[in-house]
Amino acid sequence: MRLPDDIADYVLRSCPARTEEAVMSRFGISYNTLRKIERGEPIRASVAQRLLERIADERVA
């Protein structure tokens, strides 16, 4: 699944640091997944769903 551009932009802008630990603690995704998002490549649907849920939770809080 390819993320919508606005979500991909949000993830890339909101990433605290480009390290495995920072990306995992912030979004629950691996650094490799972040790189796929950055390149506009598809990611697993289950990973995309988890990421979208985390982002939705942030925006509500």
Q: Structure pTM?
A: 0.89
- What are the tens digits of pLDDT across the range 10-25? 999 999 899 999 999 9
Q: How many domains does the chain have?
A: 1
Give the model's pLDDT for residue 5: 96
Q: What is the rounded CA–CA span in Å between residue 8 and residue 28?
A: 14
35 lies in which domain range?
A: 5-60
- Would you mind telling me the total number of residues written for the chain in this entry? 61
- Dihedral sign, Cα of residue 21, residue 24, residue 27, residue 29: positive
- Dihedral sign, Cα of residue 4, residue 45, residue 32, residue 14: positive
- What are the tens digits of pLDDT across the range 6-60? 999 999 999 989 999 999 999 999 999 999 999 999 999 999 999 999 999 877 7
